[in-house]
Every structure is written in structure tokens, then in C-alpha cells.
Amino acid sequence: MCGRASIDKDNIPKQHRFAAKLEGIAFEKNFDARPSQQLPIILPDTDKAILATWASPEKEPDGKPTLPFNVRQENLLFISRFRSLLPRNRCIIPIDGFFEWKEIEAETPETILESDAGLVLDMFGNPIRNSAEKKRLKKARPQKQKYRFTLKDKEPFGLAGLWRESLYPDTGEVRRYFTIITTQANAAVMSYHDRMPVILSPEDEGKWMNNKLQEKQWYSLLKPYEAKQMAVMAIDEYESTLGNYIAPQLNSR
């Protein structure tokens, strides 16, 4: 869930609440941001955003990632290494859109029936296919259409996240990592995925960044965003990585 996002600082209005936080931060516009890449994150009580890597490569003794690319809101209070981050390691990830894929049928039932026409049937009425036909059917996979989710006003918005630092003794280097918190999908996202990132309203961003609040107050913010405030569009897979959010063509790559 939410394994791709986009952020273009050139399109952030000067009067936007994120503009001052991101000013002077050296990061490239990214129309296909993914785990392992660096993105800016906003921390409580800081004037400027910092750069952090999306997801940590470190593993726990059980083999699970120390900080995965997303954390389910329902599990946040039940997994100690995440709960311990909640009091002081909350962050906001500024983006302008995120992406999901939805499967579409590669072959319709009618197409399969047409391809079966003329085949010899076995005693049960099932078509007898040669090895080439069996291989074709085995390789058939549903195609996926890419969708872009934004706010209706196309303004940048903030996702709720957690972050942590890791010290590497061999080099003395301190690296920062972050994860995105997800919740149940709202009506705008449900048709495409059953999960969505926690989008914070401007008012809730202030609460999420307020270190004087308590755990239950931060946790209460982790809910699906209002669906009617969101927009979704099918986009061309290749063009979207270039920042061209155009409708897919019949010959879409």
C-alpha cells in the first residue's frame, strides 16, 4: 500500500504552509518516489525539513524490517518498536500525489472461448490444448492500470509518518529513515485498494506536530481522509514517471 508517491517542489505555491519548510532543501523533484529513495520530511519544532530515506534496510531478529515502507495504523500501538517512536519521532511527509494499480482482465471470457473454438474436446467436454496453448494460458497475467490520487484542489498535502535515526559505528554516519502510516481506505480509494496513507488536514498537521499532546490524541488523527476532498484519475504508466499525468492511450506502454 502506498509504495509510490510524487513531489514537485517547483509546483508548491509560495504561500503554501510547506513552502518555507522546504526552502533551501536540496532534493530533486520526484514523480515516481519509492522506498529506498530520499524525500523531505517535516519534524516537530523545526524550521526546516530534513531528508530521510523511505524505509530502513535494517532487520529485526525475526527478520522483519526495523522500519518498513509503511505501518498499519491498527498495529501502531501493538508493536513496541513503532509505539516507542510515537512520542518524539512523528513526522509529516509532504507529497502532491500517490499511486495505486488496479488489475484489469488481460483476456475476456469471450476471447478465451473464441480461442477454444475448433479444439478437440475430451470425454468431459473440456478442450484439449497442446503444450503451446497451455503455456500461453499459464503465462497470461492480468494487466494493471495505474491511478493517481490527489486532493481535488491539486495542492500538496502531508502524510502522517514515523522516523528514526541509525548510527553506523564503522563510519560514524547517522542515517535517517521514515515510514508512512496507513489506514483503511475511504470511498475514493476503496475501489482500487483496501488501504490508503493517512492524509492529515492542515489542522490535524498542527496536532500531529504538537509534542505536548498525548498518545491517544495523536492516534485519533490516524483515520481515512474525507473522500469528497480527493480526486483520482487513470494515467499512463510511462508518462507519469516523467510528471506527465495524462490519460492512458490504447497503446500505452
Domain boundaries of the chain, sorted by first residue: 5-102+144-240, 107-140
Looking at CATH, the fold of the domain delimited by 5-102+144-240 is given as hypothetical protein yedk fold (3.90.1680)
> Residue 22 and residue 189: Cα distance in Å, rounded?
28
C-alpha cell at 127: 478442450
Q: Indicate whether 135 pLDDT > 90.
A: no
For position 141, what pLDDT does the model report? 60
Summarize pLDDT for 195-250 with one digit per residue, the tens: 999 999 999 999 999 999 999 999 999 999 999 999 999 999 999 999 999 999 75
Confidence of residue 115 (pLDDT cuts 50, 70, 90): low
Most confident of 43-47, 99-103, 113-117, 196-200: 196-200
Q: Indicate whether 138 pLDDT > 80.
A: no
- DSSP string spanning the chain? ----EEE-GGGS-TTSTTHHHHTT-----EEEE-TTSEEEEB-TT-SS-EEEEES---B-TTS-BSS-SEEEGGGTTTSHHHHTTTTT-EEEEEESEEEEEEEE-SS-HHHHHHHHTTPPB-TTS-B---HHHHHHHHH---EEEEEEEEETT---EEEEEEEEEEEETTTTEEEEEEEEEEEE--TTTTTT-SEEE-EEPHHHHHHHT-TTS-HHHHHTT-SPPPGGGEEEEEE-HHHHTTT---PPPTT--
Q: Indicate whether 74 pLDDT > 50.
A: yes
Kindly tell me the burial class for residue 151, based on how many C-beta atoms sit within 10 Å of its own C-beta (0-12, 13-18, 19 or more): middle
112-119: long-range contacts at Cβ-Cβ below 8 A with a sequence spacing of 24 or more? none
> Residue 156 and residue 9: Cα distance in Å, rounded?
9
C-alpha cell at 164: 528514526
Phi/psi region, residue 63 (left: phi>0; alpha: psi -120 to 50; beta: rest), is: left
For position 171, what pLDDT does the model report? 85
Higher pLDDT, 32 or 118: 32
**What is the mean pLDDT of the segment spanning 15-20?**
96
Q: Indicate whether 123 pLDDT > 70.
A: no
Task: Answer whether 0.95 is exceeded by the pTM.
Answer: no
Query: Range with the lowest mean pLDDT among 84-88, 92-96, 166-170, 186-190?
Result: 166-170
pLDDT, averaged across the chain: 89
C-alpha cell at 215: 498518545
CA distances from 13 to 17, 25, 92, 147 (A): 9, 16, 18, 24
Q: Give the residue carrying C-alpha cell 514523480.
A: 31
C-alpha cell at 113: 472461448
Q: What angle is formed at CA 237 by the lines to CA 53 and CA 157, rounded to 5 degrees?
A: 50
Q: Indicate whether 112 pLDDT > 60.
A: no
For position 215, what pLDDT does the model report? 94
Summarize pLDDT for 159-202 with one digit per residue, the tens: 999 999 988 878 888 999 999 999 999 999 999 999 999 999 99
